[in-house]
Every structure is written in structure tokens, then in C-alpha cells.
Amino acid sequence: MRMLLDIQKKLVPDLLEVLEMRFGILRFLRLMQPIGRRSLANSLEMSERVLRSEVTFLKDQGLIQIASSGMTLTDDGYNLLTKLEEVMKEVADIRNMEQELKDKLNISEVYIVPGDSDEYSWVKKEMGRACISIMKGKLSSRGNTIAVTGGTSIAAVAEMMVPDSDLKEALFLPARGGLGEQVENQANTICATMARKVMGTYRLLHVPDQLSKESYDSLIEETSIKEILDLLRSADIVFHGIGVATTMAERRNSKAEVLDKLKNESAVAEAFGYYFDKSGSIIHKVLTIGLQLEDLAEIPHIIAVAGGESKAKAIQAYMKHGASQILVTDEGAAKAILSDN
């Protein structure tokens, strides 16, 4: 396969360009269908004239269908796209990038989706699809407990979920309390959305993301909270995001002294309420109820989900801490990490 692709790149480079363009159209259709031609052209930054020609070809091949509500993939389109995804990983050299990233970050599994989520928000949905595929491969035969943090990347995982008989017995839990942001990006909302989509069950954690010492000491003794914390510590799978330190601190409306500390000690990453410098050392921790880093040692599958070139340094820093061994990211972040010496 690799040799054939190399020959094609030299002898018929236009063939691969057309293949990549049509792959991009099919992939976007799967995420956004039904969608009109003008909206699709704008999203793909393609002229309507060029897109009209490509849509006609794909329709004639029986890969898409056009209705008054917009364009959608046919069953043949879905099947071809699934097969094409593996080929396109070779075309874009993503297979080699995944191996290089595993070696550089010293982790066991890396999954890279094409694109950069800093430039195109729909790339996060592709990361979400990849997470669901990985999760299905990690499910145990018994009922599974799945914990999730908040954030837009994990919200994209929930958005891409569909009813699944393998997950009917699953219990979904928020890995932490609420964060002072849009409600759809909070852990409680995300875990409830996941559970409803797959017809599983869920529990919620009704506590703020940041607590005073007095509030923490009081709440941690509550029976209902103790029960959820015990369930969290015995989770089978955890999905979590990785944030840029200063961005997360500002979203939490952190005090000036905390912001100064993060700046002075060069914090670059945040996860689970912990802030890390570029070497992966913890330099600050938010007092919060939920999963702590020490709890992760007993959890079989911890999946970090983060993409975009802007998060490259944050991903590197957190992964050096060694808490997660599976990373789902995008091409933008992967290229930035690999180019950083």
C-alpha cells in the first residue's frame, strides 16, 4: 500500500488530490447531513461551481442522495467512507505520525484524525467519533462505568453517540463538579447526554468545580457524594480533556494570586483541576470534588481527548505526567508536537 501510494504521488499526483477532496466531502456530509450545497461549499471553503461538479459525480456513483432537505450519504457512501478512512491515513502519512507520537510521548495508544480543530470545529466531531470507536473496543463483558469531564472536546464525544445495545448496561458519571461555563460543556450535562443517547443510566454530581476548604470538608462527608466518588474510583473508562493553563484559569475566574503563580511558574496545561508546567510537574491544584490524579492508577482505560495546534504544548506537558496512556488528537496538534524539539 505504501509503495503504491508513493508511486501514485509521483506519477499521478492529481489523482490523490481528487481523492482527498472527495474524501473530505463525504466525511463532512457524514457529520453535518442533511446539508445544502451552499452551506457545504462554505464549510469546505470550496467554490460552489467546483462542489457542484463533485456532488454530481458522487451522486452518479450512488454515494450521496439529494433531497429538498439537503444532501445525505447513502449506505454505499457510508461503507465506502469507512474503507476509505484507512486508506487516507496512509495517504496523509497519519499512520507514521501516530507511531512517532507514541514514541515521543511514551504512551501506548495514539489516534489522529485529519484536520486541525483550531481551524475547523467539525474536526472535534471526528475526534468524538474516534473516541466512540475506541470505547467500544475497551468495553468489558459486564456492565461498564464510564466517567467524563467537561469541555468542548468531551461534549463532541457525547454529540456523536448513537443508540448502542452494548452500552445499555453502562453507567455514566461526571468526573468532577460543574465548571463556570456554558451548561452544555459541563460534565453533568455531557454524562446525561451520553446516557440518554445510548439508553444507559447516569448519576450527577451537584457540586461546584471550585470549593473553599470549609465547603469541601463538609460536602465530602455527604453520603450521596461519597457513593458517586466510590463509583468514580472503580470506573472502567474515563474520557477527559486537556486545557491550556491560562485559558482554564481565566474560565474559572481564578484569583489574581493564582493567575500570577501560573504565569510565574510557566504553567502550560490543565487536567482534572491540576495545572502542569512543560515538564509535567504539578504546580497548582484546584480544590475540587471528583476524580483525582491518584485515583487514575486503578482505572483500566484513561482516554485524553484534545486537538488543535494551540493545545500542542498542553498535550505534551500533561502526557509527561503519565496519568493517561491513550490520546485522541488531530493532525494540527500532532504536527506541532512532532515539530517541537
Determine contact, residues 327/107, Cβ cutoff 8 Å.
yes
20 burial via Cβ count (<10 Å: 0-12, 13-18, 19+): middle
In the chain, which ranges are E strands? 64-67, 70-73, 109-113, 145-148, 171-174, 201-202, 237-241, 243-244, 267-271, 274-277, 282-285, 301-305, 326-330
d(CA 96, CA 209): 39
- Half-sphere exposure (Cβ direction) of 80: Cα atoms closer than 13 Å: 17
Residue 209 has pLDDT above 70, yes or no: no
Total length of the chain: 341
d(CA 46, CA 52): 10
Cα–Cα nearest to 330, from 302, 311, 303:
311
pLDDT score recorded for residue 43: 84
d(CA 247, CA 310): 11
DSSP 104: H
Q: Which domains does the chain show, CATH number per domain?
A: 2-90 (1.10.10.10), 92-339 (3.40.50.1360)
User: Which CA distances in Å does 60 have to 16, 67, 77, 200, 234?
Assistant: 20, 14, 12, 40, 52
Q: What is the pLDDT of residues 73-130, one digit of tens each?
A: 999 999 999 888 888 877 777 888 999 999 999 999 999 998 899 998 889 999 999 9
Average pLDDT, the chain: 88
Q: What is the pLDDT of residues 228-279, one digit of tens each?
A: 999 999 999 999 999 999 999 988 888 899 999 999 999 999 999 999 999 9
Q: Give the relative orientation of helices 13-32 and 2-11 as an angle to the nearest 10 degrees.
A: 110
152 burial via Cβ count (<10 Å: 0-12, 13-18, 19+): middle
Q: What is the pLDDT of residues 26-76, one digit of tens each?
A: 988 998 899 998 898 888 888 888 999 999 999 999 999 999 899 999 999
206 burial via Cβ count (<10 Å: 0-12, 13-18, 19+): middle
